[in-house]
């Protein structure tokens, strides 16, 4: 056994290979040496367990494979052919060209992130976005943080820490990723007071719970599920009137926060920030990367008094938005001001795309692929915890995965040089043009051709 170990190549002998020398030209030599040593450790372990002796060529190959598999920019772009527009696992909203340009111009050099060029003094990173958001929503003020979860946490800490917060039992929910309203309230230092029942809560239930310890009333939009049947919940306006009666702020978590009426596109009406502010909510919270169609961000709009409390709280700095996301967000918001959001912001272009145009695209894909497959009617969904029971009609390219089965073909598409994420129904691979960006068509078709040639030949 000892003789076999002595036959293992040295670190230097592997480093002397021209291919490894090329790696050392691209990466830190110390890091490359570390990978080589890791592979040699594996070779020794293999010998100990009775395996074969790895030669220099095998070790060089394993070093190269390790680097290629682990050293690359991440996240990488994938082609979303699932038909889920706001796919949480795929990064939710794709950014507009304008948002990407804004990131580039503000980050290639220095920027006026916290500098007032007019006065020559320190400025606020929030002021510009706040002006636009106030104009779009009708709020007195606004602030932006890194995501909606931290926006809600910050709002509760700043407004209601040490106090009781009244929430309907039907809204004491898990938003996603283990983010539960009761846990958020506990971490914020507020005490949860649940009222009503899971399916029916009345404004009187809230009023009965009001005490001198009440710090806020919290209304949470159940954006990722829907309760139907024998249900009732008070309107936001009823809660606001109750809050005014007792001088209690009303906080409203809208979740997706659509600035456009979704019912215009054949979908159910999603609560809008403008409506929340018009109803009199003290603070309204919503996401930047859902139906707004921008980057990950948590947006807080509302009365000047309450936004000021939030902005001046020490935690606000810990959750503040970074300059790249802020650049993308302001560019996205400008599309709403210009009233060209439908054509500019990808999420809304996908939602509004005509079903006939989607069908033409699916048939064109099939034609380019030799008319080997079927184009069938189907549906797309909004996703991202928005409009959970709503569907948009679409056309799908349906591929019979035989002989290896749908799971095998789906995996081959995912692991292609340009990953294609599909969906499986009735053991067939379905590709939805609605969520494939138009400039990705060629890559999609190239991947399908290469994968099917390999798996079905």
Give the tens place of pLDDT for each residue, 386-414: 787 789 999 999 998 877 889 999 999 99
Among residues 266, 255, 287, 292, the alpha carbon closest in space to that of 353 is found at 266
- Per-residue model confidence (pLDDT) at position 158: 96
CATH number for 95-340 (one of 3.40.50.300, 3.40.640.10, 3.40.50.720, 3.30.450.40): it is 3.40.640.10
Global pTM reads: 0.88
**CA R_g for the chain:** 27
Q: Which parts of the chain sit beneath pLDDT 70?
A: 1-2, 173-179, 223-230, 455-457
What's the maximum distance between 2 C-alpha atoms anywhere in the chain?
88
How far from the centroid of its chain's Cα atoms is residue 390's Cα?
19
3-state helix, strand, coil in the chain (%, to 5): 45, 20, 35
Alpha helices in 27-147 (DSSP H): 29-48, 56-70, 97-107, 127-137
- Per-residue model confidence (pLDDT) at position 384: 76
3-class DSSP state for residue 126?
coil
The answer for residues whose C-beta is within 8 angstroms of residue 350's C-beta and 6 or more apart is 85, 380, 434, 435
Is it true that domain 79-87+347-455 has CATH number 3.90.550.10?
no
- Per-residue model confidence (pLDDT) at position 305: 97
- Per-residue model confidence (pLDDT) at position 227: 65
Write out the H or E segment, with its range, that includes residue 121: strand 121-122
pLDDT digits (tens, 9 = 90+) for 136-160: 999 999 999 999 989 999 999 999 9
Phi then psi dihedrals of residue 131, to 5 deg: -65, -45
- Per-residue model confidence (pLDDT) at position 174: 66
Q: Give the side-chain half-sphere CA count within 13 A for 45.
A: 6
Backbone φ/ψ region at 355: left (φ over 0), alpha (ψ -120 to 50), beta: alpha
Cα–Cα distance measured from residue 453 to residue 457, given in angstroms and rounded to the nearest whole number: 5
Q: Give me the residue spans of the domains in the chain.
A: 2-70, 79-87+347-455, 95-340
- Per-residue model confidence (pLDDT) at position 177: 58
What 8-state DSSP symbol labels residue 94?
A: P
β-bridge partners, 195:
168
- Per-residue model confidence (pLDDT) at position 3: 72
DSSP codes of every residue in 76-119: PP-EE-SSEEE-GGGTSSPPPHHHHHHHHHHHSS---TTEETTT
- What are 212's two structure tokens? 């001198």
């Amino acid at each position: 056994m000892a003789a076999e170990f002595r036959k293992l190549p040295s670190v230097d002998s592997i480093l002397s290979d021209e291919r490894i020398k090329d790696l050392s030209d691209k990466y830190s030599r110390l890091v490359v040496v570390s990978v080589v040593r890791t592979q040699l450790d594996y070779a020794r372990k293999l010998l100990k367990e009775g395996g074969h002796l790895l030669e220099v060529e095998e070790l060089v190959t394993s070093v190269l494979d390790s680097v290629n598999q682990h050293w690359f920019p991440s996240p990488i772009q994938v082609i979303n052919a699932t038909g889920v527009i706001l796919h949480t696992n795929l990064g939710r909203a794709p950014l507009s060209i304008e948002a990407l340009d804004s990131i580039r111009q503000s980050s290639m050099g220095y920027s006026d992130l916290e500098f007032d060029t007019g006065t020559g003094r320190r400025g606020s990173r929030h002021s510009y976005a706040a002006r636009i958001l106030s104009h779009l929503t009708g709020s007195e003020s606004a602030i932006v943080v890194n995501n909606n979860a931290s926006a809600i946490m910050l709002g509760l800490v700043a407004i209601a820490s040490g106090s009781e917060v009244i929430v309907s039992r039907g809204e004491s929910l898990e938003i996603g990723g283990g983010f539960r309203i009761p846990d958020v309230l506990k971490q914020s230092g507020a005490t949860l007071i649940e009222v009503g029942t899971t399916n029916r809560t009345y404004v009187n239930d809230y009023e009965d719970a009001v005490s001198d310890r009440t710090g806020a009333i919290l209304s949470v939009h159940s954006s990722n599920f829907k309760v139907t049947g024998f249900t009732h919940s008070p309107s936001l306006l009823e809660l606001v009137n109750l809050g005014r009666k007792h001088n209690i702020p009303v906080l409203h978590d809208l979740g997706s926060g659509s600035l456009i009426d979704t019912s215009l596109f054949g979908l159910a009406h999603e609560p809008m920030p403008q409506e929340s502010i018009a109803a009199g909510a003290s603070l309204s919270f919503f996401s930047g990367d859902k139906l707004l169609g921008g980057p990950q961000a948590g947006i807080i709009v509302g009365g000047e008094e309450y936004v000021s409390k939030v902005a001046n709280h020490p935690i606000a700095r810990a959750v503040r938005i970074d300059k790249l996301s802020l650049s993308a967000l302001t560019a996205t918001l400008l599309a709403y001001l210009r009233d060209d959001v439908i054509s500019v912001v990808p999420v809304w272009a996908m939602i509004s795309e005509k079903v006939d145009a989607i069908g033409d695209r699916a048939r064109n894909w099939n034609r380019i692929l030799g008319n080997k497959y079927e184009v069938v009617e189907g549906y797309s969904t909004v996703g991202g915890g928005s409009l959970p029971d709503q569907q948009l009609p679409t056309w799908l390219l349906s591929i019979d995965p035989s002989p290896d089965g749908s799971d095998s073909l789906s995996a081959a598409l995912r692991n292609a040089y340009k990953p294609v994420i599909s969906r499986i129904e009735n053991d067939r691979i379905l590709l939805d043009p609605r969520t494939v960006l138009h400039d990705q068509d060629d890559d999609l078709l190239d991947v399908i051709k290469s994968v099917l040639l390999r798996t079905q030949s």
